[in-house]
Copies of this chain bind each other. A is one copy, B any other.
Amino acid sequence: MSIQAPHNTLLIPGPIEFDDAVLQSMSHYAESHVAPGFVKVFGETITLTRKLFQSTNPAAQPFIISGSGTLGWDLVSANLVERGENALVLNTGYFGDSFGACLETYGANVDHLRAPIGDRPAFDEVEKALQSKPYKVITITHVDTSTGVLNDIKRVAEITRRVSPNTLVVVDGVCSVGSEEIDFDKWDLDAVVTASQKAIGCPPGLSIVMVSGRALEVAKSRKTPAASYYASIEKWLPIMQNYENHKPSYFATPPTQLVHALHTTLSQITARPMSERFAMHTQASDKVKAAVAELGLKQLAPNREAQAHGMTAMYLPEGLTPPDVLPGLLKRGVIFAAGLHKEIATKYIRFGHMGVSISQADRKDIDNALTALKEALAEAKQAKGL
């Protein structure tokens, strides 16, 4: 029997449904954060994070810090950019705006390369922007949670290395890590910022950042000190290195229970090749998108290559808003999210299909959700006389 009380199925683009074992591992009794038992678990969790990113380069370093995904933006902005340096934000919506604001807080001069809603900046525009001035970092939202747009970070990294080799390639992977292919070393990425509660399947409360050796060197050779104390790479680097070598170390108390949960879910995820996981998410996504098309709904991202595999953002039929449809879904035991992109928030809904809802097919979460969506839409149309 599940340890979770009966509940509606959470199919928003994060937080997502939990595996019982992940929740169970948080009931761990109190431990000292520097005692051997916890040190081993934390150390292993850091090593498992390398696997999550398919990274074998020892120069790269995962950081696991108590905080939400947003904290990763501070870690990037306060360590990899200095006051007055340029940052290029490939902006596909809400999260590009916010990452830009974070960079500005720490003194960066930010240029936004904005795409129309549902699209992503064209590669030739990215190339032109990178040629226009020296950028210290380029940031890309891998999957924009607000629109379901998928950016081609591999291609953007290639362009950046060719056109502006010293520009650091920074990926906001909060809504992609664990559901979209990422090959950290091979794609030559410099930082991927993510959080525990999306496709990784852990409760929220952990900021997870993978940083390349090149980026660590940039942080180390700053002319000015890091602009944040809590989000300082210099402070956290020895802590992460020590724990991974199973040596206790202290800068701030790690969230022991959440680290146990992350250890459990990463052990599950990395027990199989990551390629299998990505294929499962792609397969499920194809099914969802076909069903959505069959219902006559358009996606915010019309181009297939720019569609995320862990979520689908779909316009509602003319005349319907999220409050017309979401209660009908809830009545059927399914929770979707309303729109988030402020210009069109009332026109669309978001369906997250990640993690155990995909990897544990016997849950039938996706089939149930698609049936509920069909019924709820019909009901809503009827109620509105559409």
Contact = CB atoms under 8 A, between A and B. Distances in A.
A47 to B, nearest CB: 21
A146 to B, nearest CB: 11
Interface residues of A, number: 58
Interface stretch (A6-14, A280-288, A309-317): A6-14
A195 interface: yes
A256 B27 contact: no
A226 B105 CA distance: 8
Nearest to A201: B30
Contacts of A121: none
Contact of A258 (B15, B24, B228, B255): B255
B70 A230 contact: yes
A70 B26 CA distance: 22
Main DSSP-derived SS at the A contact region = loop
A23 interface: yes
Contacts of A275: none
Contacts of A66: 66-68, 71, 204-205
A299 to B, nearest CB: 22
Interface string A3-36: 1110100101011111000011011111111010
Contact of A26 (B10, B26, B226, B335): B26
Contact of A29 (B18, B27, B225): B18
A258 B7 CA distance: 19
Contacts of A27: 3-4, 23-24, 26-27
Nearest to A38: B15
B255 A204 contact: yes
Contacts of A258: 203, 205, 255, 257-258
A204 B74 contact: no
Contact of A252 (B12, B29, B31, B70): B70
A60 interface: no
Contacts of A10: 29-32
